[in-house]
A and B are shown apart, each in its own frame.
Chain A
């Protein structure tokens, strides 16, 4: 039968499986990077990059990471080692987030799983939320990291937003935020950035966090923290976790995504942790098992290498000290560049106010530049950033801060 049916007949009967597949919208960050890379101008600057750069503009691998690498090299690939490494990673992450001497850590009433960096920590939680609180929705701040929207959408959890950034003041819209928290139905789920809000760099003060936490108690809301920058915001790990500690003190049983991408420079290793606080160990065991079920059908187990690096560093006092120092160095460099940029712009006699450069924290400066100004910066000055005017301070160096200052002044002086 086969001999009589040539290939020609067969191929015309082939169904076009994916004719309906259109190209996905291009990732705006990628477009920025691509455009930057193909630009040959000698003074070009990439301010879209979401990864730390040293003062020469080079990526950095922390010394503590190199030391940890040397220690884990040659390790066996036992599955049990992967499991142990994962457990250790979770324990150390939880200590970082909640405090070494916290009740959470002492009593162990939490479900913790290693995750594929912050994205997956959020996704696991979103899927868990959908599965076990199917009527719930997630309230996301405006603005937020764009991928938050994708995550909860793909997990099929309906989204709402709450006000956060005030464009007029280039600061926190606290009154509107509190209104939104109050007006949301009781027991709503909220996504909060505990420090170094991405993309605005604007964080509530401790006092404001206390008020937010209190209102959450009144409304019985669920606080989910996405902590991607612990240590990176102020240079102090404990200080950056303060929002979480405040909520803990008020008795909230929170969820928390942690990422070591930026704080340990482990970007491509994809190391993170998801923790969900529970009332007791039984509940914690049940919740953890369900999180693992969700992960099992996505990727079975998380990747081991990065987890080994993190748990080696955090589990060794001297390596941990080294890390704490190195995080502060990174954070200090960012702060120094913020100060320099602001000083420069003020010295140029700019009519505008630039205090938001140093008021904001973390890697990003939400400049308030409009799309036309962003375009001018790119076309006339070969300076690249995303269209929302978000500038990665990691891309600023002592070598380029003057050039950057002049360019920003040029495009804003009439404004």
Chain B
């Protein structure tokens, strides 16, 4: 055999036409993927030499000096774990301790569901990973189902359920005229969806609008979900970050649990613990009993195994170190509140500034909306003017990241917004 090949190799030399191009037409047809709009904003901002430039496109927290923040509780946790731990694989379902503490946050420390072990839960690659595991699980075990996604929502929600091959529908959510919740139409959409539909809900600090239902509205939504037998899937990316109080931010979920819904929930520590690059999150699915939760968890792990085998350990260790130490946990709660308070303070300042400038428009939505983002209602043209004339960068849907607003730039920002909107009515 070997000699036969040797002869062949002698006859057919490298130059005989087996050139690179004949073997390489694998990916010639691959088009560049559409660029991430948020990344474009950041790139443009970085390239701008203007000393006045303001980046309110960034979806990450900044302090009042515009600097990224690593929380003290995180630093302390890092210090404790550095050099101490081995780097062995986590189980497929991730850090048991981290998941336990994370469930307490969402479901409440004294939740019956926890006591009865009815929650199937696994560590996930932040909120994205949690949503994707659920989407794949939904596809596998409810193959005829669809997902109802609010309008608008975080763009990646569409990518996630699409790649999981779950058909998508949308439901009304944001009301452009009021810059608030389109509650009546939302309820209509819930009623008109086929019974037993799957809905994606933002538990708090809706991204990108910052518009959340009131508690009363959540109660009504929950009731209607009961009537229709819908499945509520909560994506909670901002617990603690919205109001400053994690218990308060979990209210929607608690309302649904109180009504007996068996929910699904994605949680993320990206924003509320500032753990952006560490990719720490959790997916939980409420089950009828412990036996079912064992089965569901095993299937979630089966989905994770051919994706990444087991989740990364470092971020999970940070989270479990913080949450299982009462002092560190208290420190975290203080720091989360401080971040939320700064955002709320900037909302107030921006609104006051605009009103003082005598803007003809209403800006109360700035303080009514909650969380990192303000859906300003600015048109794409107005956004472009802000960028070109004032070096202020945001996404063209008019979403302002309040995290980019500081006491030093809020006046300038207000002036610029006033400039591009003062001729407007409404």
Asked if A329 is at the interface of the complex by the 8 Å CB criterion, the answer is no
Interface residues of B in 63-119 (CB under 8 A from A): 68, 70, 75, 78-79, 82-83, 86-90, 92
Contacting residue for A214 out of B9, B30, B126, CB 8 A: B9
Asked if A289 is at the interface of the complex by the 8 Å CB criterion, the answer is yes
Query: Quick check: which of A145-153, A190-198, A315-323 contacts chain B, the rest being far away?
Result: A145-153
Among B5, B8, B28, B141, find the residue whose CB has the most chain A CB atoms closer than 10 A: B5
Known A-B contacts A214-B9, A279-B24, A296-B159; A151 and B306 likewise in contact (beta carbons under 8 Å): yes
Asked if A78 is at the interface of the complex by the 8 Å CB criterion, the answer is yes
Known A-B contacts A24-B302, A214-B5; A303 and B278 likewise in contact (beta carbons under 8 Å): yes
Shortest Cβ distance from residue A90 to the other chain B in the assembled complex, whole angstroms: 15
Cβ contacts under 8 Å, B160 to chain A = 297
Interface residues of B in 210-247 (CB under 8 A from A): 219, 223, 226, 229, 231
Looking across the interface, which residue of chain B has its beta carbon closest to that of A174?
B1
Contact (Cβ within 8 A) A150 B31: no
Known A-B contacts A16-B288, A21-B292; A132 and B2 likewise in contact (beta carbons under 8 Å): no
Give the complex CA separation of A16 and B196 in angstroms: 10
What 1/0 mask marks residues of chain B from 258 to 271 whose CB sits below 8 Å from any chain A CB? 01111000000000
Looking across the interface, which residue of chain A has its beta carbon closest to that of B262?
A17
Cβ contacts under 8 Å, B313 to chain A = 268-270
Known A-B contacts A22-B295, A303-B277; A292 and B92 likewise in contact (beta carbons under 8 Å): no
Among B86, B196, B306, find the residue whose CB has the most chain A CB atoms closer than 10 A: B306
Asked if A42 is at the interface of the complex by the 8 Å CB criterion, the answer is no
Asked if B169 is at the interface of the complex by the 8 Å CB criterion, the answer is no
What 1/0 mask marks residues of chain B from 1 to 15 whose CB sits below 8 Å from any chain A CB? 110010011001010
Interface residues of A in 252-299 (CB under 8 A from B): 252-253, 261, 265-270, 276, 278-279, 283, 285-287, 289-290, 292-294, 296-299
Cβ contacts under 8 Å, A2 to chain B = 219, 223
Total CB contacts across the A-B interface at under 8 A: 249
Looking across the interface, which residue of chain A has its beta carbon closest to that of B58?
A79
Contact (Cβ within 8 A) A300 B163: no
Cβ contacts under 8 Å, A13 to chain B = 226, 229
Query: Quick check: which of A66-74, A231-239, A332-340, A353-361 contacts chain B, the rest being far away?
Result: A66-74
Contact (Cβ within 8 A) A116 B308: yes
Shortest Cβ distance from residue A318 to the other chain B in the assembled complex, whole angstroms: 19
Contact (Cβ within 8 A) B31 A270: no
Contact (Cβ within 8 A) B30 A297: no
Looking across the interface, which residue of chain B has its beta carbon closest to that of A116?
B308
Contact (Cβ within 8 A) B309 A77: no
Asked if A396 is at the interface of the complex by the 8 Å CB criterion, the answer is no
Shortest Cβ distance from residue A396 to the other chain B in the assembled complex, whole angstroms: 18
Looking across the interface, which residue of chain A has its beta carbon closest to that of B163?
A297
Contacting residue for B88 out of A51, A214, A300, A306, CB 8 A: A51
Query: Quick check: which of A117-125, A163-171, A398-406 contacts chain B, the rest being far away?
Result: A117-125
Give the complex CA separation of A7 and B222 in angstroms: 13
Shortest Cβ distance from residue B265 to the other chain A in the assembled complex, whole angstroms: 14
Contact (Cβ within 8 A) B5 A211: yes
Known A-B contacts A150-B305, A269-B312; A253 and B82 likewise in contact (beta carbons under 8 Å): no
Contact (Cβ within 8 A) B132 A211: no
What 1/0 mask marks residues of chain A from 103 to 130 whose CB sits below 8 Å from any chain B CB? 0000000000000110110010000000
Give the complex CA separation of A294 and B309 in angstroms: 17
Contact (Cβ within 8 A) B20 A251: yes
Give the complex CA separation of A302 and B314 in angstroms: 13
Looking across the interface, which residue of chain A has its beta carbon closest to that of B291?
A23
What 1/0 mask marks residues of chain B from 330 to 370 whose CB sits below 8 Å from any chain A CB? 00000000000000000000000000000000000000000
Cβ contacts under 8 Å, B276 to chain A = 77, 79, 82
Cβ contacts under 8 Å, A155 to chain B = 306
Contact (Cβ within 8 A) A65 B87: yes
Asked if A27 is at the interface of the complex by the 8 Å CB criterion, the answer is yes
Contact (Cβ within 8 A) B311 A292: no
Interface residues of A in 1-22 (CB under 8 A from B): 2, 7, 10-11, 13-22
Contact (Cβ within 8 A) B87 A287: no
Interface residues on A, range: 35 or more
Looking across the interface, which residue of chain B has its beta carbon closest to that of A81?
B277
Cβ contacts under 8 Å, A151 to chain B = 306
Shortest Cβ distance from residue A299 to the other chain B in the assembled complex, whole angstroms: 4
Known A-B contacts A76-B68, A79-B276, A285-B32; A267 and B295 likewise in contact (beta carbons under 8 Å): no
Contact (Cβ within 8 A) A18 B90: no
Looking across the interface, which residue of chain B has its beta carbon closest to that of A276?
B27
Give the complex CA separation of A66 and B81 in angstroms: 12
Contact (Cβ within 8 A) B310 A268: yes
Contacting residue for B89 out of A267, A286, A300, CB 8 A: A267
Shortest Cβ distance from residue B293 to the other chain A in the assembled complex, whole angstroms: 9
Contact (Cβ within 8 A) B299 A24: yes
Contact (Cβ within 8 A) A24 B301: yes
Asked if B408 is at the interface of the complex by the 8 Å CB criterion, the answer is no
Interface residues of B in 113-132 (CB under 8 A from A): 125-126, 128-129, 132
Asked if A222 is at the interface of the complex by the 8 Å CB criterion, the answer is yes
Shortest Cβ distance from residue A177 to the other chain B in the assembled complex, whole angstroms: 11
Known A-B contacts A15-B196, A79-B60, A217-B18; A303 and B312 likewise in contact (beta carbons under 8 Å): yes
Give the complex CA separation of A269 and B86 in angstroms: 10
Asked if A95 is at the interface of the complex by the 8 Å CB criterion, the answer is no
Known A-B contacts A267-B88, A287-B27; A299 and B302 likewise in contact (beta carbons under 8 Å): no
Contact (Cβ within 8 A) A306 B307: no
Known A-B contacts A178-B1, A297-B132; A147 and B278 likewise in contact (beta carbons under 8 Å): no
What 1/0 mask marks residues of chain B from 269 to 310 whose CB sits below 8 Å from any chain A CB? 000001111110000010110001011101101110111111
- Chain A to chain B: the 7 pairs with minimum beta-carbon distance, closest first: A304-B277, A268-B313, A299-B125, A150-B306, A82-B277, A116-B308, A305-B314
Task: Enumerate 5 A-B pairs (CB-CB under 8 Å) in ascending A order.
Answer: A7-B259, A211-B2, A251-B20, A298-B125, A299-B125
Which residues on B are within 8 Å of A, measured CB to CB? Answer: 1-2, 5, 8-9, 12, 14, 18-24, 26-33, 35-36, 60, 68, 70, 75, 78-79, 82-83, 86-90, 92, 125-126, 128-129, 132, 141-142, 156, 159-160, 162-164, 196, 219, 223, 226, 229, 231, 259-262, 274-279, 285, 287-288, 292, 294-296, 298-299, 301-303, 305-315
Other contacts beyond A77-B70, A290-B33, A299-B126: 7, CB < 8 A: A2-B219, A7-B260, A66-B83, A154-B303, A154-B306, A250-B14, A251-B19
